[in-house]
Amino acid sequence: MATDVVRPADPYHLTADGIKEPPKGWRPSLRYLGPGLIVSASIVGSGELIATTALGAEAGFAILWMVIVSTTVKVAVQIELARWTISTGEPALTGYNRVPPRFGRIGLVNVLWILLALSKLLQLGGIVGGVAVAFSILVPFGGDPLGRLSLTIWTAIVVFAAIVSLISNRYKLIERGAFFLVVVFSIVTVAIAIGLPFTPFAYDGSDLLGGLAFQIPVGALGAAVAMFGITGVGADEITFYTYWCVEKGYARWVGPRDDSPEWAARANGWIKVMYKDAFVSWVIYTFATLAFFIMGAAVLEPRNLVPVGNEMLTTLSRMYTDTLGEWANVAFLLGAIAVLGSTLWAALPSWARMYTNVLATLGVLDWKDPAARQRWIRGFIIVLPLLWGTAYLLISSPVVMVQIGGVATGIFLLAVVVAVWYLRQKEVDPRVYGGRAFNTLLVVSSAAIGLLGLYTLLSVFGLSIG
């Protein structure tokens, strides 16, 4: 009887009684947005505060245009995969596992995902470390804020707080927390954009126009490729966006697929809501990325300051403390905690779902059993922060840890594109395909990601281009 009560409310179980007609227009759709906020909370953190600022410090304004290109071009792949999810009710890793070639119970794309997940232990460890460093600078234990004792204590506190706050694994809690953090870091980025012109490191219109010239200076190709791989939606965000689309209710409200025109109309209607959700998310993380890149290009690059190791946050904060005083350092660190903490908040439940899903494809559990799925997800919500915190304490270099994850993301993006096109051809109802403009963007997006994957692979094997 308990199962009979739970299953109808399970967003991964599509039934006729879960059908809901989609809203029309922006205002009625606003209350149905949410998955994109979780994605935005995840994106604006490791890629933006750490890696993007470091790239701005390395290359200056010259590749500012790449920020806009990199955040825009990958959205089409994200939307296409979410289209498949809304029309089938299945999350990404379930679909990835059906893409050939397969080795027994597991497909090659999921094998590559496992390799990505192992590298992401380092990247998420860097996020935990970044939050711990910020707290440690504010309230050090043992005198030295960057000493082993203080960083270990704060790492343990961050890990414990992440587990306790997210162990309930409720979608509404995760979405509302993401919304709060998105609001906070949006205020932070606006403050950065407004504050810099009032410092000795002000930038002007000529700097911005020069950065939009669609040129890559000699020696900056590697930085440009890293920018494309790290900023915007990565392979992990494209993948876990599908889980949040399901748990918001998009697929359940469409209902089980059939050949009726009513199903096609509902599916297209909820896909349009998803378009709006993805667009709002894109606006948020693109402007945040621009702000952090400008921070590095305007302040750190002219002074040859590139953030490295545990000194990352102290280096970044110098642009304000050198001119505005110590109070600005406190404000900056609190903002950094919100930015990095938002990634941790969104990434933990997302990765817990993906780990559980890949185990389900291997037959370890039944993904359609909500009780079993919940137990495994909660288990990973406990285990993953412990692994991330341990990885940080062993390596203690947030910038390098994040960049390693960025390289792995660039490689896996290629596999995601292959999977998206396979699922589109084999499993997406043609009645819910995108229009001509979207399909053109999808082709461009896929080609750009393919080139990124090729470049990254060549770099891994010691070959260089340009």
Q: Cα dist. 391→14, 114, 351, 388, 405 in Å?
A: 39, 17, 16, 5, 13
Can you say whether the dihedral through the CA atoms of 411, 414, 419, 424 is positive or negative?
positive
Q: Is residue 441 part of a domain?
A: yes
Rounded Cα distance, 132 and 145, in Å: 10
Count Cβ atoms within 10 A of the Cβ of residue 294 and give its class: 0-12 exposed, 13-18 middle, 19 or more buried. Answer: buried
Rounded Cα distance, 92 and 109, in Å: 11
Q: Please list the ranges in the chain whose pLDDT falls under 70.
A: 1-8, 45-51, 53-60, 62, 189, 192-193, 198-205, 207, 210-211, 213-230, 299-328, 396-408, 410, 453, 455-466
Rounded Cα distance, 284 and 270, in Å: 21
Amino acid (1-letter code) at residue 150? S
Beta carbons of 298 and 75 less than 8 angstroms apart: no
Rounded Cα distance, 461 and 189, in Å: 37
Q: Which domain holds residue 232?
A: 35-460
Q: Is residue 226 part of a domain?
A: yes
Tracing tokens 């961050």 back to the chain, one arrives at 158
Q: Is residue 29 part of a domain?
A: no
Q: For position 36, what pLDDT does the model report? A: 93
Q: For position 2, what pLDDT does the model report? A: 42
| DSSP code per residue over 31-70 | GG--HHHHHHHHHHHIIIIIIIHHHHHHHGGGGHHHHHHH
Q: For position 7, what pLDDT does the model report? A: 45
Longest dimension (CA), the chain: 69
User: By C-alpha distance, which of 319, 436, 343 is closest to 128?
Assistant: 343
**Overall domain count for the chain:** 1
Whichever domain contains 317, its CATH number is 1.20.1740.10
Beta carbons of 80 and 434 less than 8 angstroms apart: yes
Coil, helix or strand at residue 461: coil
Rounded Cα distance, 299 and 292, in Å: 11
Q: For position 85, what pLDDT does the model report? A: 97
Q: For position 316, what pLDDT does the model report? A: 62
Rounded Cα distance, 49 and 46, in Å: 6
Q: Is residue 229 part of a domain?
A: yes
Q: Is residue 7 part of a domain?
A: no
Q: Is residue 2 part of a domain?
A: no
What share of the chain in percent tops pLDDT 90? 46
pTM for the full model? 0.87
Rounded Cα distance, 206 and 204, in Å: 6
| Number of helices (H), then strands (E), in the chain | 20, 2
Q: Is residue 30 part of a domain?
A: no
Q: Is residue 11 part of a domain?
A: no
What share of the chain in percent tops pLDDT 70? 74
Q: Which two tokens stand for residue 391?
A: 């990885």
